Amino acid sequence: MLSYFLSRPLPQGLEGLGDLALDLRWTWSHYSDRLWELLDPEAWERTGNPYYILQSVSQARLEAVANDPRFKEELGGWLGQRQRYLDDPGWFGRHPARHGLKGVAFFSMEFGLSEALPIYSGGLGILSGDYLKVASDLGVPVTGIGLLYQQGYFRQTLAPDGSQLEAFPYNDPVSLPIVPVQDPDGGWLRIRLDLPGRPILARVWRARVGKVDLYLLDSNDPLNSPPDRGITATLYPADPRHRLAQEIILGLGGWLLLEELGIEVDVLHLNEGHAAFAALARAVSFMRRHDVPFPVALRTTRAGNVFTTHTPVEAAFDRFESGLISPYAAHLGQRLGIPQESLLALGRRDPQDRQEPFNMAYLAMRVSGSANGVSHLHGAVSRRIFQALYPRWPHAEVPVAHITNGVHVPSWDSSEADALWTRTCGKGRWVGELAALCGLVECIRDEELWPFRARQRRTLVQFVRRQLERQLKEHGEPSELAQRARHVLDPNVLTLGFARRFTAYKRPTLLLHDPGRLARLLLHPERPIQLIVAGKAHPDDGEGKRLVQVLAQFTARRELFNRIVFLEDYDMVVAGHLVAGIDVWINTPRRPWEACGTSGMKVLVNGGLNLSELDGWWAEAYTPEVGWALGDGREHDEPGWDEFEAGQLYDLLEREVIPEFYERDQEGLPRRWLKRVRTSMARLTPQFSNNRMLREYVERIYVPAAKAYTRRAADRAKLGTELEEAFARVTENWSGLRFGEVRATRAGDRWHFEVQTYCGDIPPDLLRVELYADPLGEDAPTRAVMTRQTPIAGAFTAYLYVAEVPATRPAEHYTPRIISFHPEAMIPLEEMHILWKR
């Protein structure tokens, strides 16, 4: 439906411009940048949006370039390059049979692909956008599902007193690089959702991301009521009723969309709990197609559902009060023929507590076959958060694994960095194997690395000067002050960056704990530093907005004008410039509240270093050779700890970071600094690329999930039915289980355990008896499966179980336990019965 928006035909020979403009691959592969710059330099600099340029450029200009042989030759070359990219099957496509994966549906509340499509707020959205890009690069069969927001997240300006002001400009779909999706009759595809009291129509748009499609649902249809048209107006609205409606459209509507388009997927990936209703829609669809009860359908389909949590605190999960969500549960339950309380129980910690709010993350856990956090530390934090759902299970066995996030490196490397890595590692470095990159980067000479970093820093300084001058002019500041902005910062000075969402746990003002000490570092006559700051606070986060004001007021101090800048309206464009030129990226969250924190990963490819709290990804990435660490790797809530870490931050800057940067040899090179830069680039860039991340998802989660779903679904859900009936029997008869006598005898260096177990009315094949011992120190817990022996004489379904374990621990460390078991079940994620010997 390109012609839907292009009201004029493109001149002969330029038809391919439409395909280039609508393929968001230009957000990371900048091969066509020169074409758009030639068409309209001003629009390209201001918007970076090829599709907007194609809409707005004059017909005369199009005719002119159509008669320019060099332009047409260049266009032809880029179209050929794009086609070769699309034809390349990628890592996944070269071995599809090995994976046995048909498709993945990736649901997310936000996608950060480009400022040309502003439907994101921060890290979750950037991660989602990067995910689609690497899926395209590797050829993984992914379909993205999200929402098209009429306003999206807000744009930020600062008042004269430094307080944050918010603006909500309209996202005009005509200028966005998306097109409406057609229905079979050639009309605009709409998804109908029957909600209590009325239907809602959701229009469907498509964004092309290389080899991957992103479909966006939009409630702003004239056939909807005015309130319903506004459901998809803003991202993360404060009104819970509004938020619930968004999540219903995303989840239920998103799955209906996949079916309408005939897109077959065997894995449903819920990127946060916002989209968990999609799993219910999937189960409903399976139930109707295969004529099985809803519990069997859910038991079957959940094997193919994946839940990734990004939340470091339980209070941050979306919750809906019973009075709000009950009408929706009653409406859906009536259509399914099951009680509404059975549906509401899926989102409650205590299924029997009818007053407990409905928790979307709890729902996601109860409808998924695997769950993971986004860093090693966050996996442990998440197991603690979800412990409430598995109250009798040890913390280490709460079923949340982890896959550490990564960034789409081609999206975040500057042109300078891209050239350096291409010379060193070749063009296909981020779509192939990564193992060889470390050794190649280690060979970059100091004489090449230092000028590279200097050029990066100079480019950043020039960008900041332009941005600051524009800010001052827009604020109506005197012209002489705006002119001074052309000379702020120094391209030869050590440059620190701090940019992120402003909220209390990120402690954005930790650097200001001693303003005088920071000022002395900034203004040091021989070894100064300079600081670039950017970031937004959510409009409803009062404390976050106060922190923005505090930092903005400090940056406005007249004597610091040349050494510190607050850039307004932190977005992907600003972030791209910052991560390219910053020397040291500062990150100061309160551990363990940073789930992953990918902003610091983006500086790696560009030769930037990290000075960060030992939280999120840095807790597993840090070694003394690659950067600097705040904190002691433990959690602290005692008074005075922020003060301690602020002092530690100043000490690191004064004693290590600044001296190392300015310590030069006879050739003028900071050899120790460059060694650290080279080591960071070589070791960390491949490790924290989302090439590695997506391969882990495919091999560790998607492929096993797809196979498990296929086995359960075969023969009209024969295995799914078997599992549902088996565990229904376990639940009904669990109270009849008990232990008898336990004996432990030592034989050399082994303990021999014998445990009498009375199974009641549960077949012993549905049970597993184990010996369990808590971990010692950092070790994993010890689990030993016991072997069933002959029945106990004179007893009904009673057996002796035996096992041997090393005698390196006392016998009393081991406790017998019984868990429900089936070789095809995910224990304890979907079946958490457990009985301990007291």
Q: In what order do the strands lie in the sheet with 627-630?
A: 564-567, 529-534, 494-499, 584-587, 609-613, 627-630
User: What percent of the chain clears pLDDT 90, i.e. is strictly above it?
Assistant: 82
Whether 132 and 247 share a structural domain? yes
Decide if pLDDT at 98 tops 80.
no
* Cβ contact 546:446 at 8 Å: no
Which residues are bridge partners to 802 per DSSP?
754, 787
Residue 394 lies in a domain: yes
The 3 state secondary structure assigned to 348-360 is: CCCCCCCCCCEEH
Domain's final residue, options 653, 687, 721: 687
User: Six-digit token pair at 215?
Assistant: 């479909």
Rounded to an integer, the average pLDDT of 108-125 is 94
**What is the predicted pLDDT for the residue at 624?**
97
**What is the predicted pLDDT for the residue at 5?**
56
CA gap 195, 430 in Å, rounded: 45
CA gap 358, 502 in Å, rounded: 28
Give all strands (DSSP E) within 360-458, no chain letters. 370-373, 401-402
CA gap 210, 136 in Å, rounded: 6
- The pair phi, psi for residue 23, each rounded to 5°, is -100, 110
Whether 377 and 476 share a structural domain? no
* Cβ contact 832:390 at 8 Å: yes
* Cβ contact 43:52 at 8 Å: yes
Whether 261 and 319 share a structural domain? yes
Q: How far is CA 367 from the centre of its chain?
A: 20
Residue 695 lies in a domain: no
The structural domain count of the chain equals 4
Which structural domain, as residue segments, surrounds residue 610? 436-687
Whether 352 and 472 share a structural domain? no
The 3 state secondary structure assigned to 673-703 is: HHHHHHHHHHHHHHHCEHHHHHHHHHHHHHH
Residue 62 lies in a domain: yes
Decide if pLDDT at 271 tops 60.
yes
Task: Write the pLDDT tens digit of every residue in 18-31.
Answer: 899 999 999 998 77
Decide if pLDDT at 2 tops 60.
no
Lowest-pLDDT range of 43-57, 106-120, 639-653: 43-57
Whether 182 and 68 share a structural domain? no
Q: How many helices (H) and strands (E) does the chain have?
A: 33, 28
Decide if pLDDT at 583 tops 80.
yes
| Residues whose CB is less than 8 angstroms from the CB of residue 428 and which lie 6 or more positions away in sequence, other chains included | none
- Supply the Cα-derived Rg of the chain in whole angstroms: 29
> What is the band of 527 on the pLDDT scale with cuts at 50, 70, 90?
very high
Task: Write the pLDDT tens digit of every residue in 428-471.
Answer: 888 878 888 888 888 999 999 999 999 999 999 999 999 999 99
Decide if pLDDT at 778 tops 80.
no
Residue 372 lies in a domain: yes
610: amino acid identity, one letter:
N
Omega before 592 within 30 of 0, i.e. cis: yes
Q: Angle at Cα 83 formed by Cα 78 and Cα 87, nearest 5°? A: 150
Task: Write the pLDDT tens digit of every residue in 202-254.
Answer: 999 999 999 999 999 999 999 999 999 999 999 999 899 999 999 999 999 99
717: alpha, beta or left? (left if phi > 0; alpha if psi -120 to 50)? left
User: Six-digit token pair at 326?
Assistant: 């009950």
Q: How many CB atoms lie within 10 A of CB 324?
A: 15
Residue 369 lies in a domain: yes
**What is the predicted pLDDT for the residue at 1?**
44
Residue 162 lies in a domain: yes
Rounded to an integer, the average pLDDT of 33-55 is 89
Whether 110 and 81 share a structural domain? no
Task: Round the average pLDDT of the chain to a whole number and report it.
Answer: 94
**What is the predicted pLDDT for the residue at 195?**
87
Q: Angle at Cα 66 formed by Cα 63 and Cα 68, nearest 5°? A: 115
Residue 326's SS3 state is: helix
Q: Angle at Cα 256 formed by Cα 255 and Cα 262, nearest 5°? A: 95
Total residue count of the chain as it appears in this document:
838
**What is the predicted pLDDT for the residue at 3?**
47
CA gap 544, 538 in Å, rounded: 7
Whether 241 and 387 share a structural domain? yes
The DSSP secondary structure of 746-777, one letter per residue, reads EETTEEEEEEEEE-TTS-GGGEEEEEEE---T
Residue 477 lies in a domain: yes
Burial (CB count <10 Å: 0-12, 13-18, 19+), residue 127: buried
**What is the predicted pLDDT for the residue at 139?**
95
* Cβ contact 591:403 at 8 Å: no
CA gap 838, 836 in Å, rounded: 6
Which residues are bridge partners to 413 per DSSP?
none
* Cβ contact 785:770 at 8 Å: yes
Task: Write the pLDDT tens digit of every residue in 600-638.
Answer: 999 999 999 999 999 999 999 999 999 999 999 999 988
Decide if pLDDT at 748 tops 60.
yes
Element (H, E) at 124: helix 123-138
Whether 743 and 654 share a structural domain? no
Rounded to an integer, the average pLDDT of 531-552 is 95
Element (H, E) at 787: strand 787-791
Give all strands (DSSP E) within 159-310, no chain letters. 164-167, 179-180, 190-195, 198-209, 212-218, 267-271, 305-308
CA gap 209, 29 in Å, rounded: 11
**What is the predicted pLDDT for the residue at 80?**
92
Decide if pLDDT at 369 tops 70.
yes
Whether 386 and 358 share a structural domain? yes
Residue whose pair of structure tokens reads 């009849």 in the numeric block: 736
**What is the predicted pLDDT for the residue at 7?**
58
**What is the predicted pLDDT for the residue at 6?**
58
471: amino acid identity, one letter:
Q
What are 154-160's contacts with CB under 8 Å, separation 24+? Answer: 154/536, 154/539, 155/569, 156/536, 156/568, 156/569, 156/570, 157/474, 157/475, 157/568, 157/569, 158/475, 158/548, 158/552, 158/566, 158/568, 160/475
Decide if pLDDT at 667 tops 80.
yes
Decide if pLDDT at 262 tops 90.
yes
Whether 705 and 653 share a structural domain? no
> DSSP character for 656?
I
Whether 675 and 766 share a structural domain? no
- The pair phi, psi for residue 769, each rounded to 5°, is -100, 130
Task: Write the pLDDT tens digit of every residue in 682-736.
Answer: 999 999 999 999 999 999 999 999 999 999 999 999 999 999 999 999 999 999 9
Residue whose pair of structure tokens reads 């100091």 in the numeric block: 446
Nearest alpha carbon to residue 205 among 177, 244, 170: 177
Rounded to an integer, the average pLDDT of 403-409 is 97
Whether 364 and 287 share a structural domain? yes
Task: Write the pLDDT tens digit of every residue in 300-350.
Answer: 999 999 999 999 888 889 999 999 999 999 988 887 778 889 899 999 999
Q: How many CB atoms lie within 10 A of CB 195?
A: 16
Omega before 828 within 30 of 0, i.e. cis: yes
Lowest-pLDDT range of 86-100, 182-196, 552-566: 86-100
The DSSP secondary structure of 457-500, one letter per residue, reads HHHHHHHHHHHHHHHHHHTT--HHHHHHGGG-S-TTSEEEEEES
Residue 730 lies in a domain: no
CATH number at residue 755: 2.60.40
